[in-house]
Structure 1
Amino acid sequence: MFTLLAPLLALVLFLLAPTTAAAQAGNAQAGKTLWEGPATQCRNCHGTNGEGAFGPDLAGRRLTVPQFRRAVRQPWGIMPAFVESQVSDREIADLVAYFDGLPAVAQPGPWRFTVPAGAPRGLEVALSTVGCAQCHGPTLNGPRQNMGAINADFEWVKRMVYDHAKIMPAHWKTLGEEPAVRVRMGTYSPARLPESLVQEVWTYARDLGYRPLIASQLSAGVAAASGVTYSLTVQNSGLPNRGLTAEDLTVNLVVPAGANVVSTTGSGYQGVRADAGLKANVAVWQLGKLAPKDRQTYSLTLSRAGTAADNVRGVVRWAKPVVKTGPSDEANIAPAPLTTATQ
């Protein structure tokens, strides 16, 4: 019987072989788009073009899809692991195709952030031992916001580090947020990232000061006879009765060069002044405090719309809680969409 089936089995395997190869063949352009886009942050460790930095080089390494997938799903060393919902097998194949088309490098590139002289132990660990600050930055602004949103303890931090792919979506759900991106941070292994090192980083973040989770949404301009109106919502997205309250806030929206303020809405308007940080004239509102789930709305009507080179954008600053990263804390207001509707 086996003798009769052998030719048929050989034919089936022959027909399947191209299909399997095709399934593993990635799209280099899709890989480039993924690598350079907001869906992943791998380039912060592996270099802008995969040339290597804190993490090893990938460009021109000629890794196979199974090898690359193994490194992503079950990595060696300190690198966190990424599940299918974060980076799919299809995307892994695309990344392999992209890196196969790049030249190999003789030397890796520089780290995104280096360890400053006299750095606290927690910052040294975050930058050079674990590498978490290569993505989050030396002041860990994002993590400190998420900690401040619920006034997190160390047990929560451990769960976030060791089971991130599950805990981060649960955190968003607790806060009632709809994330704009997938979960981008991987999950660390307790065997390779000891709890003592996590404690060092958490102590450093706590010493800098937790931050209230201040979010904003700036609309596209709406054109009418009176001018172009932009609407802004500022919200404290923290958890009621647990998250931090921001106090002594200023809301600042850039007035593009050549534009005049026609009118505004929202209490606490202070007029227009020069802002050194934004390097522009800004319309300013003052606000006493913003507790978790509180929100404020504002509008700014200008004589003309912003442009790609000089768009309406801004920053929210607050004096309390006091942090060690500067005289005030702040959250950026992303530029308004350039599409302008007609009223």
Structure 2
Amino acid sequence: MPGPVVVLVAVPLLVSFALWAFAWPAARTAPHDLPLGVAGPAAATARVEARLEQHPDAFELHRYADEAAAREAVRDRDVYGALVATPRGPKLLTASAAGPAVAQLLTEAATKAAPEGPRVHSEDVVPTPPGDPRGSALSASVLPLALAGVATGALVTLMRLRGTRGMLALLASAALVGLAAAALTDSWLGVLAGNWWAEVGALGLTVLAVSSAVAGLGTLLGLKGIGVGAMLTVLLGNPWSGVPSAPELLPEPIGTLGQWLPPGAGGTLLRGVGFFDGRAVDTPVLVLTVWAVLGLTALALGGLRDGRQRAAAPLSADRDAPSAMRS
């Protein structure tokens, strides 16, 4: 196929794929089994639960005995919010740090579900930090981390750093990016408000997962591997991360798949260490670690392969030398 024809076909296909990956989740934003707590006596919450269950796929209801239990569930990230029946009327507990878009959605849903009469009182149990009241800066931080990881993995591949050298390059780069990113997002901008060193670890692990995946794929597939890694982590991982809203607001299976890619897992981990004292971070840490370990393993195997090839080259030359002399 002639070169111009390839360009004319490939570019529209790539643009269409990118638009699908970015626009489809945004156009289909809606709650899908969004965890929501309901607390109080059964008689007081029955009508609220009935109204919420009119949309069977929208909310995943968790029932709690009282406000204290519901409040703890919000802080533990078991639920995004909780509607509590109190003597003074219905009360909504939210956590805007878990996603301002979710907090707004829950406020609207609670207003519609509450009985006629008393106004729903709202309390933000875990608010966003003053430096990022709308959560937009945190959302904007995920793409640069993914790009940093792609760039690092691509450089390691192009410079043919294999084995120990490549692994050390990825680890050192991720650590330095984690330090720099924490200094910017926490110390300067106030986007994050958790333990500083935990944030360094979360940021560095996110970059390491991306860079290791790209370098590992580059080791296995060559230059094509860089493209595959960039597609997984940027073209798919970024729009499917759910960081601007929440994974449960994305259409399925995008919301679930996005959490198994480094940007989605990294965003969830950053929220956990930045606002929730490290609660509910086991799964994202595991996902990022698996990506990092697989990529580093591929890089190590590439180093062993290159070493065997270099060792075999002199032997091959020695075998060819006698035949060359005879000729």
What is the TM-score normalised by the length of structure 1? 0.28
The structure with the largest helix share of the pair is: 2
The structure with the largest strand share of the pair is: 1
